Amino acid sequence: MSIGMKDVEHVANLARLELSVDEKEQFVGQLNAILKYAEKLGELDTDGVEPTSHVLPVTNVMREDVVKESLSNEAALLNAPDDEDGQFKVPAVLE
């Protein structure tokens, strides 16, 4: 599988990245080189092999449903680039 300009643009859109023409061209080359190297994995027969997402034998970790301290409004907004009335402010979503 090899990826072209269109694929790079599609993936950039999924990743919410805006790339310059230079960046796109560079990524076409570099991602192809990396993916070509990754094709190596195809040499291995992995039929019936369980995937490892995690090395620890833990799945869902539960705790008692008790109220705990949470962040204050002030702390949560401390690093906000823009805020108003105790809320994060963003450009209008609806026209």
Partner 1 sequence: MALFDMRLQDLHNELASGKLSAAELTEASYKRIAETDERIGAFLTLNEEGARARAAELDRSGAEKGLLHAMPAGIKDNIVTKGLRTTCASQFLTNYNPIYDATAAGKLNAAGAVTIGKLNMDEFAMGGSNENSSFRPVRNPWNTDYVPGGSSGGSAAAVAAGQVYFALGSDTGGSIRQPASYCGVVGLKPTYGLVSRFGLVAFASSLDAIGPLTKNVEDSAYVLQAIAGHDGMDSTSAEVAIPDYVSSLTGDVAGMHIGVPKEYMGQGIDPKVKESVLAALKVFESLGATWEEVSLPHTEYAVAAYYLLASSEASSNLARFDGVRYGVRADNPDNLLDLYRKSRSQGFGQEVKRRIMLGTYALSSGYYDAYYLKAQKVRTLIKRDFDQAFEKFDLLLGPTAPTPAFRIGEQIGDPLTMYLNDIVTIPVSLAGVPAISVPCGFVDGLPVGLQLIGKAFDEATVLRAAHAYEQNTDHHKARPQL
Residues forming the site for partner 1 (CB under 8 A)? 1, 3, 7-8, 10-12, 14-19, 23, 27, 30-31, 33-35, 37-38, 40-44, 46, 49-56, 58, 61, 63, 71, 75-76, 78-82, 88, 90-93
Q: Which residues contact 79 (CB under 8 A, 6 or more apart)?
A: none
Least distance between partner 1 and beta carbon 12 (Å): 7
Q: Toward partner 1, which CB reaches closer, 1 or 67?
A: 1
3-state secondary structure 3-28: CCHHHHHHHHHHCCCCCCHHHHHHHH
Structure tokens at 3: 């990826």
> Rounded to whole angstroms, how far apart are CA atoms 18 and 13?
7
Q: Toward partner 1, which CB reaches closer, 56 or 67?
A: 56
C-beta separation of 29 from 5 below 8 A: no
Least distance between partner 1 and beta carbon 93 (Å): 5
